[in-house]
Amino acid sequence: MISKLLKFKNYRLRTKLIVTYVLLTVIPISLLGYIAYSQYTKSIEEQVGEYIPKLLKQANENIANQVRELREYPDLLYNSDEVVGILRKDAHQSRSALLQDEFTVNTYLTRTFINGSSQDILGVFVISKNRIFHSTKIPYSNFGLVDYSQSYGQDIQLKSNDVFVLPHQTSLRFEGDPPFVLVMKQLTDLENRTDLGTVLVAVNVTFLESVINEMSEEGKADLWMMNQDGRIIYHTDANKIRTIDREFNKYPKINGSFRSTQEDEGRLISLNYMDETGWTLAHSVLARNLTEKTDLVRNATIAIFLVFVAISTLISFLLAWNVSSPLNRLTRMMKRVEKGDFDVDLAIGTTDEIGMLANNFNSMITEIKDLIRENYQIELKQKEAELYALQSQINPHFMYNTLETIAMSVDDDEKETVVEMVTLLGRMLRFSIGNKESVVPISDELLHVKDYLTIQKIRFEEKFDFIIREEIESRNYYTPKFVLQPIVENAVKHALVYGRVTVIEIGVCLVPGTDGTEEISFKVKDNGTGIKEETLADIQQMLASDPMAKRDSHFGLSNVHARIAMNFGSGFGLNISSGHDQGTEVEIKIPVLKNSTEGGQQKLEKN
């Protein structure tokens, strides 16, 4: 416990304030809201548990009334004396008489049942003395009952006045597979008390749909009707019709509601049994759905909680911000100073401890800037000495290879080649050691690079070529000396590939800068194999580091980048892009420089 307190002491001030706020405000109010909501949820479940069974009872009464109407459908046959007369006839008649009787009965069935007032009847079938009469609203197939598969055309002795046959008890199917029940009733000749046959009326269970759907809208509930075995006659989920409710045997055999924990979130299940048919109407709703529609109590609790938390959060964050913001600004300023940026000024505007700290920080920065200003001239002298040393460095391998090429040309009596190479090499040496100025015209820098590349082209003959594109008047613009040669040497060294012509492309142009002014862009591009991804990342990380720390490095890229960054700022320097077998492109950006003399001294001017 003590160690945790010690760790808390080391947390940032803003973190401490926020943690304190959470412990003293958010958590207690959240607990209060949770307890209130739990009690509310419990009361909602109790109310629904009492209310839903009443609705189910009313729904079952409505369904029972419709079932009574279904049971009266077969009696419509008694309204036609002609049909009753046909049913009384012996089945053994002539073919034409049988067809005539069939047409008469089928026509009556269509007119009375199919085209009648009820839209729920799918079809009607009459079985009498080896005859089958029928009329259906939609096509059907596999007419037959599982229990009486051998009884077509025979009298079916029913134990009761009428029977409901469910779809799973018969092979009869209608097109589109609509859910239905068969109302099967035996016809009796009222005059002589003999059996006339059996009537089967197929009724779409959509008569249940209107009653059930009215209730299913409440709380996003599931409603279904089952028979005595748990077989689902109708369900709000059509895929479950004709299946068996797996939990049916676990349901209590009384009307009412109970909570099921078969699912993680729990369900409230309500049942009501119908005495008329033995069917059961069931209602199931997720407990969490019962509280989707909140009442005034929960809304008021949540509203008060949110308002209180919002106000306290605002006050807490304002306090934390007022205290920690100056400290964060001081931290950011110190990081900038750490990276070498001394153009900072921390203005707090208060006289408390933080204000005193800011004033001391500003005084310290002022003293450091004075020291830098005093040593600036020394630093400039050092950079000029480094530049002069760089100018004096000519790659020994290049010199050796060039002299060897000249010697070979002398042996081969190639006088013109010897003269050209000696001329180019002499001009390169004069450029390197003859001019002590730190900036030169871009045309001179390009000529120096062109001499170097021409010597390389003579050495490698048709295996090497170069292109120089000037999109500006290069004599009117200036550049720091020796910014291109190290890059070009690097390209020649790493881009040469056996078996194909290596091409070095150099371009110089004006491009828009980030601040709206123009900048000079040098691009050195080769068609070599490119730089490996990890090597390129290392190079870019090296270039992104402090250029002052890299000024003593002999690596050409970092040397050029460091010189440019030290002279013109971190916004200028090198940018390298490369891809596998796509070559490498190095872009050098410098500000637009124009040369002028003042008092016999060279002076750089930025446009």
Mean pLDDT along residues 162-178: 78
Per mean pLDDT, which of 40-44, 213-217, 364-368 is the most reliable? 364-368
438-443+455-606, what's its fold?
Heat Shock Protein 90 (3.30.565)
Tokens representing residue 337 in the block: 């100073």
Residue-level pLDDT at 480:
87
Which among 187, 139, 185 has a CA at the least distance from the CA of 165?
Answer: 185
According to the model, what pLDDT value does residue 159 have?
Answer: 45
In the prediction, which pLDDT does 471 show? 92
Classify residue 251 by burial, with Cβ atoms within 10 Å: 0-12, 13-18, 19+.
Answer: middle
Determine how β-strand 518-526 pairs with β-strand 502-512: antiparallel
Looking only at the bridges linking them, the beta strands covering 280-286 and 180-189 are unpaired
Q: For the residues of 225-246, what is the DSSP string, one character each?
A: EE-TT-BEEEESSGGGTTSB-T
What angle is formed at CA 553 by the lines to CA 551 and CA 556, rounded to 5 degrees? Answer: 100
Q: 161: burial class by Cβ within 10 Å (0-12, 13-18, 19+)? A: exposed
- Residue 145, pLDDT above cutoff 90: no
* Lowest mean pLDDT across 7-11, 335-339, 455-459, 479-483: 7-11
Question: Which of 7-16, 28-37, 119-128, 517-526 is most confident?
Answer: 517-526
What is the overall mean pLDDT for the chain?
Answer: 76
pLDDT greater at residue 358 or residue 125: 125
Confidence of residue 70 (pLDDT cuts 50, 70, 90): confident
Maximum mean pLDDT: which of 195-199, 279-283, 516-520:
516-520
pLDDT at 504 over 90: yes
The pLDDT of residue 330 is above 60: yes
Confidence of residue 338 (pLDDT cuts 50, 70, 90): confident
- The average pLDDT across 426-442 equals 80
Residue 188 pLDDT exceeds 50 = yes
pTM of the model: 0.40
At the top level of CATH, the class of 80-204 is alpha beta
Whether residue 173 has pLDDT greater than 90: no
The pLDDT of residue 581 is: 81
User: What residue spans define the domains of the chain?
Assistant: 80-204, 314-383, 438-443+455-606
> How far, in Å, CA of 504 to CA of 525, rounded?
6
Confidence of residue 603 (pLDDT cuts 50, 70, 90): low
Q: Quickly state the pLDDT bin for 503 (edges 50, 70, 90).
A: very high
Query: Across residues 570-594, what is the average pLDDT?
Result: 88
How far lies 460's CA from each of 280, 395, 453, 454, 502, in Å?
97, 18, 10, 10, 10
* pLDDT above 80: residue 571: yes
Q: With bands split at pLDDT 50, 70 and 90, how would you rate the model's confidence at 11?
A: low
Q: What is the structure's pLDDT at 309?
A: 76
More confident residue, 63 or 293: 63
pLDDT (average), residues 531-549: 78
The stretches of 412-466 forming alpha helices (DSSP H) are 415-434, 442-460
Q: What is the pLDDT of residues 84-128, one digit of tens each?
A: 888 888 756 677 887 888 888 888 888 888 887 677 788 888 888
Calculate mean pLDDT across residues 591-600: 66
Quote the pLDDT of residue 207: 66
With tokens 């607990």, the residue in question is 31
**Dihedrals phi, psi of 119, to nearest 5 degrees:** -90, -5
Beta bridge partners of 201: 124, 183
Q: Give the least confident one: 21-35, 67-81, 415-429, 575-589.
A: 21-35
Q: pLDDT value at position 219?
A: 46
Residue 268 has pLDDT above 90, yes or no: no
80-204 with 438-443+455-606: one CATH topology? no
Q: Ramachandran region of residue 584, left (φ > 0), alpha (ψ -120 to 50) or beta?
A: beta
pLDDT at site 449: 92
- Across the beta sheet with 180-189, the strand order is 131-136, 121-128, 194-204, 180-189, 162-165
% of the chain with per-residue pLDDT over 90:
9
Q: What is the mean pLDDT of residues 366-391?
A: 60
